[in-house]
Structure 1
Amino acid sequence: MDLILASQSPRRKELMALLPYPFTIIPSTFDESTITDPDPETAVIKIAEGKAANVAAAFPESVVIGSDTIVYQNKILGKPKSAGEAEEMLRSLSGRTHTVYTGVTLMKGEKAHSFVEKTSVTFWPLTDEEIGRYISTDDPYDKAGAYGIQSGGALFVKEIKGDYYAVVGLPAARLKRELQRFLSCFQP
């Protein structure tokens, strides 16, 4: 059975490669901005479903995996559009605990299964210098919450409770188990 990852994220590609299944990458063209639900768990699932459905429509015989990650600190923190927005996000996370939600949807034809992995991340208090140095790099701009835990943002993290890989963008261990169950539905 063909397996498709509906993402162009290099991080998700690396994590998918840990699973014992061959897969193809076909990026979704789903417009995430159409999802405006303020509830992070609902929003992340709707986006993951939208990404999966967008690709599954063209490949109804394949199992498509859609995924999205949201950082939540009193509101959803998306990908910053400017240095000012990145700085504002990092200041709001400084010295506090926030929640990262990663939603995953598995889809084949009309059959779909979604789940959310929730992880708490606590940052050290950040100095102006740390924030300034970090936002001067390219790292914060393609990541929810303006940081990459697997790259320069690792220096901000005091504590994590939950799945580290979900914060990176794909809860690989849980995905393996959920995918095994989903695939068993199509066995003769």
Structure 2
Amino acid sequence: MSTNIQCILASQSPRRAELLKQIQVDFIVQAADVDESVLPHETPAAYVQRLSIAKAEAVWQQRSEQQLPALPVLGSDTSVVIDQHILGKPANRDEARQMLQLLSGREHQVLSSVSVIYQQQQLSALSTTQVSFRAISPAELERYIASDEPYDKAGGYAIQGFAAVFIQQIQGSYSGVMGLPLQETYQLLQAILTDKSS
């Protein structure tokens, strides 16, 4: 089975690549180089939406300048949010510990925005998932942050990894928490593909 969808993935994330393969989309990886700083007074939703568009735009522009074949460009950004505060990727054990202590025994949100750019079209969608963590014991926390898992993940955890044992419930998109909401991604790519062929 093939979807006959081809695109450029504006990300080096192995998880996003894995998710696109899951829905049988053919893609080329071309990472975007954008400033991921949060703007003053920017809400988490506005932040992830702005970044997903910026990533797609950067790669679309780069390919246009290099006169490479025009294909839909897919950009995405995912943030873990608690108390309206964005948790990025922890740089070290102390940051990972602080993040996970904040998430322990509480509910947080994972916002994942996806954008597709092709020719003059730009389509975007935002996925919001509620994630509930059980209380994490000090011993579990130390064992987890001693692993490699937290350090390239928003919020310091991977739902598809060992951190699954901390999660009591999710309401929303599992793939969105991984980094790419597949239902929204597929719909956007289908919409672009339909317009491209009409």
Question: After superposition, where does 1:20-169 map in structure 2 within 5 Å?
Answer: 20-33=24-37, 35=39, 38-60=42-64, 61-74=70-83, 75-169=85-179
CA RMSD of aligned residues (A): 1.5
Shift >4 Å, 4+ stretches: 34-37
8 Å contact 2:90–2:156 — kept in the other structure? Answer: yes
CA deviations on 1:23-58 (whole Å, 9 max, x unpaired) are 111111122126555411100011111111111102
Amino acid in structure 2 at the alignment position of 1:8: Q
Q: How many residues align?
A: 188
Deviation at 1:19, TM superposition (A): 2.5
Q: Which blocks of at least 5 consecutive residues in structure 1 are unaligned?
A: none
82 and 37 in structure 1: CA distance in 2 versus 1, 3 angstrom threshold: farther
Give the distance between the partners of 2:41 and 2:166, measured in 1 at CA.
28
Amino acid in structure 2 at the alignment position of 1:64: V
Give the distance between the partners of 2:41 and 2:20, measured in 1 at CA.
28
Deviation at 1:14, TM superposition (A): 0.6
Q: Between the two proteins, what is the percent identity of the paired residues?
A: 38
Q: Which blocks of at least 5 consecutive residues in structure 2 are unaligned?
A: 65-69
Give the TM-score, by structure 1 length. 0.94
The answer to which of 102-111 and 85-94 deviates more is 102-111
Amino acid in structure 2 at the alignment position of 1:176: Y
